[in-house]
């Protein structure tokens, strides 16, 4: 017969005022498995814990039921106390008789006492069938893989690398930098990305602990926290990067010149052999196989002839590299809704209607117009510009229900920069609300309105169309109720931000989740905003939801700190409450495998039996409930344990 000790806490009067403690002690003592039952005024206090420890040693107790507050509060306290005197912590269970009994049943002391007794007895049934468990130790790989080389990925990479971790920064385009590299200047400080981002990019490129896998994507990720295996696909560049010096000769000779530049968001063209922008890191050229004449038709080949480094070979040099990874940070950022949308505002039809990110390029000193604001249609300087906010945002009926968060601010910035460039120009901003809730943000918008005389009109635009070289904007001013018609030279649409393309496929490879719009899901919006529900995978930057640069960088450092903390030890400790499979019982039906969201249990094709991966199992117990034969179980949550608890609740004490 097991020797269970039951310790009942008064919690001052919190429990004792409602629950008849003496009666509880009397009744639970009668259970044959209960070797000792005792009460105390504050069991969690030092003397309380000493009392419990003393009894464990004195009476040789082999299991404890601590009847007190919710397990969320003191389960750990009592488990540690027991462990200190040699009782396996997993032989200690809490019977919650405060939150679940004395507090919600204050007016019914008798029935509360009965309920407390039953809860304790049921817990006795559970604990007597518990087995000793030992923390699972798993070794860790001291490396981090960061997916996405925007400012978030760069910041996280630098932080991790400075902490001594090996960093693999995987970026699908041929240069790191992300959206920020395409910006003109940044609100609210008006720093240019060349001034603040380029140095970070260079630093990342030179850091001895950072390896940049540019032009690469994630093929597959397996394994678990501390021990991921990643396959990274280095896409075909057709140029040997160990030879390429980034001189750019291939770009100048390439005859295919009419490809819209991704970096310039279509405001300029690029060649088929190209380096996306002068500050690119790594500064290496790639050949775009969808446009290269040689690769498509076997004609041309000029770049190979002219390349001074003889780096070009037109061979598919796709390579899959396998990496051992301890932690993963996902920083895949965002995009704006593609131009195919918003025909109603003339986008894609009227050349002088552009998106915000396109206008950034027209403002940028490094851009195709060298910072001169010019209409894409005829190169003239626009004297009047209308900026339309919330295009596709806050529009649950047609596009996205959420607020894209950065548009108010960048529209203000763009209007301001436009005024700096065209002193006699007039900027109009159509807005629904102005959201300027960051440090210095409201002041920034006020400056745009007051100093730069940007005209803010509260209202929505109903129609945008061309008329005799002008663009006509119809709308209503919702403050005055007046109908408005503006004739302007250009229109800039602050289109909704959306999650990066392909993020859903990536998420499923990583076994993390996205919300309905594709934003990566955090473990808890408030309290675990950088963690995901998959241990060892963290989020940084706009991939989780639209963010401005300050928030992006802050979260990136947060994610880096989490990864650094995780990998600061040689071993990871995991709670040993996990699934296990009785190999004789298992019939290999695979129900458990279909259940597990972590891929932690699977039927071995050779043995035909399910096996649990201790590193991956999160201990939810779902496979056990899904397994008909009872072959899969969750340790210390056996079916018989639950059955006996049920028996106690429906029939009273199980064994007399």
Partner 1 sequence: MTDKDRKGEGKAAAGDDFEPVIVGFFCNWCTASAADLAGTSRMQYPPNVRPIRVMCTGSVDTSFVLRALLEGADGVMVGGCHPGDCHYVTGNYRARRRLTGVIKILEALALDPERFRFEWISASEGAKFVKVVTEFTEDIKRMGPSPLKGL
Partner 2 sequence: MAEERIIKVGKGETPSTAALAHLEQLLTSGHLDGLMIPMSMGGGRTFMHVLVTDPDALADADPFAPVMPVNGGTSVSRLTKLEAPSGRIGVVLRPCEIAAAIELHKLLQVRLGDVVVIGVDCPGTISVKDHIDLVDAGKDPLSAVAEEPGLLREACMTCDWTRVQYHDMLLGTFGSDGTHVIVVSEDETLLGGLDKAPKGALEARESTIEKIEDIRVKTTEAVEKEVDEHLQGPEGVARHWETCIVCHNCMEQCPVCYCNECFFESQTFRYEGDKMMLWARNRGSLDMPTDKAMFHLGRMAHMVATCIGCGMCTQACPVGINVGRAFKYVASRVQPVYDYKAGRSVDDPLPQATYLEDELEPR
Ligand X SMILES: Cc1cc2nc3c(=O)[nH]c(=O)nc-3n(C[C@H](O)[C@H](O)[C@H](O)COP(=O)(O)OP(=O)(O)OC[C@H]3O[C@@H](n4cnc5c(N)ncnc54)[C@H](O)[C@@H]3O)c2cc1C
Q: Which does 100 bind (CB under 5 to 8 A by kind): ligand X, partner 1, partner 2, none?
A: partner 1
> Residue 483, interface with partner 1 (CB under 8 A)?
no
> Residue 647, interface with partner 2 (CB under 8 A)?
yes
DSSP letter at 413 equals: H
* CA–CA distance, 182 with 231 (Å, rounded to integer): 29
Q: Of the candidates 137, 305, 482, 639, which one interacts with partner 2 according to CB under 8 A?
A: 639
Q: Which does 111 bind (CB under 5 to 8 A by kind): partner 2, ligand X, partner 1, none?
A: partner 1
Q: Tell me, residue by residue from 531 to 560, as one string, x for binding to ligand X by CB under 6 A and - for no binding.
A: ----------xxx---xxxx-x--------
* CA–CA distance, 488 with 493 (Å, rounded to integer): 14
Q: Tell me, residue by residue from 392 to 421, as one string, x for binding to ligand X by CB under 6 A and - for no binding.
A: --------------x---x--x--------
- Residues in contact with 246: Cβ distance below 8 Å, sequence separation at least 6, in sequence order: 275, 280, 282, 283, 284, 285
Query: Is the separation of the CB atoms in 322 and 228 below 8 Å?
Result: no
Nearer to partner 1, 44 or 156 (CB): 44
> Residue 535, interface with ligand SF4 (CB under 6 A)?
no
Query: Is the separation of the CB atoms in 355 and 265 below 8 Å?
Result: yes
What would the DSSP string read from start to end of 449-476? HHTS--EEEES-EEEEEEETTEEEEEEE
CA distances from 180 to 67, 172, 294, 438, 611 (A): 56, 16, 33, 18, 46
Site for ligand X in 167-196 (CB under 6 A): 170-173, 178-180, 183, 186-187
Q: Which does 332 bind (CB under 5 to 8 A by kind): ligand X, partner 1, partner 2, none?
A: ligand X
> Residue 34, interface with ligand SF4 (CB under 6 A)?
no
Site for partner 2 in 538-597 (CB under 8 A): 584-591, 594
Q: What is the dihedral of CA 429, 263, 260, 393, to 10 degrees?
A: -40
Site for partner 1 in 600-619 (CB under 8 A): 618-619
Shortest distance in whole angstroms from residue 48 CB to ligand SF4: 34
Nearer to partner 1, 59 or 585 (CB): 585
> Residue 646, interface with partner 1 (CB under 8 A)?
yes
Element at 78 (helix H, strand E): helix 71-84
* CA–CA distance, 261 with 387 (Å, rounded to integer): 24
Q: What is the 3-state secondary structure (H, E, C) of 243-305?
A: CCCCCCHHHHHCCCCCEECCCCCCCCEECCEECCCCCCCCCCCEECCCCCHHHHHCCCCHHHH
* CA–CA distance, 246 with 265 (Å, rounded to integer): 22
Nearer to ligand X, 167 or 612 (CB): 167
Distance of CA 437 to the CA centre of its chain: 23
* CA–CA distance, 300 with 509 (Å, rounded to integer): 39
> Residue 203, interface with partner 1 (CB under 8 A)?
no
**Helices 639-651 and 109-128: angle between axes, nearest 10 degrees:** 150
DSSP letter at 432 equals: S
Q: Tell me, residue by residue from 598 to 627, as one string, x for binding to ligand SF4 by CB under 6 A and - for no binding.
A: x-xx-x------x-x----xxxxxxx--xx
Classified as helix, coil or strand, 104 is coil
Shortest distance in whole angstroms from residue 317 CB to ligand X: 18
DSSP letter at 112 equals: H
Q: Cis peptide leading into 188, omega within 30 of 0?
A: yes
Q: Of the candidates 484, 533, 561, 602, which one interacts with partner 1 according to CB under 8 A?
A: 533
> Residue 282, interface with ligand X (CB under 6 A)?
no
Shortest distance in whole angstroms from residue 632 CB to partner 2: 11
Q: Of the candidates 9, 97, 603, 617, which one interacts with partner 2 according to CB under 8 A?
A: 603
Show the tokens assigned to 647. Answer: 């028996």
* Residues facing residue 222 across a β-bridge: 229
∠ CA 529-535-541, nearest 5°, is: 35
Q: Tell me, residue by residue from 122 to 141, as one string, x for binding to partner 1 by CB under 8 A and - for no binding.
A: x-------------------
> Residue 32, interface with partner 1 (CB under 8 A)?
no
> Residue 521, interface with partner 2 (CB under 8 A)?
no
Shortest distance in whole angstroms from residue 597 CB to ligand SF4: 7
- Residues in contact with 290: Cβ distance below 8 Å, sequence separation at least 6, in sequence order: 296
Q: Of the candidates 193, 223, 333, 412, which one interacts with ligand X according to CB under 6 A?
A: 333
Shortest distance in whole angstroms from residue 517 CB to partner 2: 14
Residues in contact with partner 2 by the rule CB under 8 A: 584-591, 594, 603, 608, 626, 628-631, 639-640, 643, 647, 651-656
Residues in contact with ligand SF4 by the rule CB under 6 A: 578-579, 581, 586-592, 595-596, 598, 600-601, 603, 610, 612, 617-623, 626-629, 631-632, 634
Residues in contact with ligand X by the rule CB under 6 A: 147-153, 170-173, 178-180, 183, 186-187, 217, 331-334, 336, 356-357, 360, 406, 410, 413, 497, 500, 502, 506, 541-543, 547-550, 552
Residues in contact with partner 1 by the rule CB under 8 A: 70-72, 96, 98-101, 103-108, 111-112, 114-115, 118-119, 122, 513, 533, 577, 595, 597-598, 618-622, 624-626, 634, 637, 639, 642-643, 645-647, 649-653
């Amino acid at each position: 017969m097991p020797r269970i000790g039951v310790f009942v806490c008064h919690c001052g009067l919190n429990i004792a005022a409602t629950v008849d403690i003496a009666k509880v002690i009397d009744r639970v003592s009668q259970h044959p498995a209960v070797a000792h039952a005792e009460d105390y005024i504050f069991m969690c206090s030092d003397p309380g814990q000493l009392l419990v420890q003393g009894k464990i040693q004195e009476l040789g107790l082999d299991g404890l039921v601590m009847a007190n507050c919710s397990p969320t509060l003191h389960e750990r306290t009592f488990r540690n106390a027991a462990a200190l005197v040699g009782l396996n912590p997993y032989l200690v269970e809490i019977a919650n008789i405060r939150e679940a009994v004395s507090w919600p049943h204050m007016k019914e002391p008798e029935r509360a006492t009965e309920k407390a007794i039953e809860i304790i007895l049921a817990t006795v049934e559970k604990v007597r069938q518990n087995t000793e468990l030992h923390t699972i130790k798993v070794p860790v790989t001291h490396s981090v893989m960061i997916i996405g080389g925007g400012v978030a990925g760069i910041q996280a990479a630098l932080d991790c690398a400075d902490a001594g971790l090996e960093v693999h920064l995987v970026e699908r385009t041929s240069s790191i930098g992300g959206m920020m590299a395409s910006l003109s200047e940044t609100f609210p400080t008006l720093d240019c990305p060349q001034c603040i981002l380029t140095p970070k990019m260079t630093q990342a490129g030179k850091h001895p602990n950072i390896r940049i896998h540019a032009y690469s994507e994630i093929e597959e990720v397996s394994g678990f926290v501390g021990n991921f295996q990643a396959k990274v696909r280095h896409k075909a560049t057709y140029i040997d990067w160990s030879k390429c010096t980034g001189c750019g000769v291939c770009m100048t000779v390439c005859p295919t010149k009419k490809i819209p530049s991704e970096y310039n968001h279509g405001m300029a063209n690029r060649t088929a052999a190209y380096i996306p922008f002068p500050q690119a890191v790594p500064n290496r050229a790639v050949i775009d196989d969808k446009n290269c004449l040689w690769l498509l038709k076997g004609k041309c080949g000029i770049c190979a002839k002219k390349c001074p480094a003889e780096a070009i070979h037109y061979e598919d040099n796709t390579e899959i590299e396998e990496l051992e990874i301890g932690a993963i940070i996902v920083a895949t950022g965002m995009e704006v809704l593609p131009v195919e949308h918003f025909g109603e505002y003339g986008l894609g039809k009227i050349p002088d209607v552009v998106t915000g990110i396109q206008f950034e390029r027209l403002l940028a000193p490094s851009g195709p117009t060298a910072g001169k604001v010019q209409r894409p249609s005829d190169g003239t300087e626009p004297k009047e510009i209308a900026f339309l906010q919330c295009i596709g945002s806050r529009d649950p009926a047609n596009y996205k229900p959420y607020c894209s968060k950065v548009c108010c601010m960048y529209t203000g910035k763009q209007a301001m920069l436009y005024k700096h460039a065209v002193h006699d120009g007039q900027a109009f901003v159509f807005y629904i609300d102005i959201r300027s809730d960051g440090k210095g943000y409201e002041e920034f918008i006020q400056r745009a309105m007051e100093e730069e005389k940007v005209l803010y009109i509260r209202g929505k635009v109903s129609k945008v169309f061309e008329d005799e070289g002008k663009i006509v904007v119809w709308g209503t001013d919702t403050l005055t109720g007046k109908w408005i018609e503006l004739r302007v030279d250009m229109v800039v649409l602050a289109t909704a931000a959306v999650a990066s393309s392909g993020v859903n496929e990536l998420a499923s490879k990583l076994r993390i989740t996205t919300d309905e719009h594709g934003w990566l899901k955090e473990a808890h919006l408030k309290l675990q905003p950088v963690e995901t529900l998959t241990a060892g995978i963290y989020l940084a930057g706009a991939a989780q939801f639209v963010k401005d640069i300050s928030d992006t960088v802050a979260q990136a450092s947060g994610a880096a700190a989490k990864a650094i903390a995780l990998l600061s030890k040689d071993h990871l400790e995991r709670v040993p409450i996990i699934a296990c499979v009785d190999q004789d019982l298992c019939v290999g039906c695979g129900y458990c495998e279909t259940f597990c969201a972590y891929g932690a249990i699977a039927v071995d094709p050779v043995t035909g039996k399910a096996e649990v991966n201790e590193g991956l199992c999160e201990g939810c117990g779902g496979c056990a409930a899904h397994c008909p034969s009872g072959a899969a179980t969750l340790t210390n949550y056996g079916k018989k344990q639950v059955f006996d608890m049920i028996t106690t609740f429906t029939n009273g004490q199980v064994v007399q």
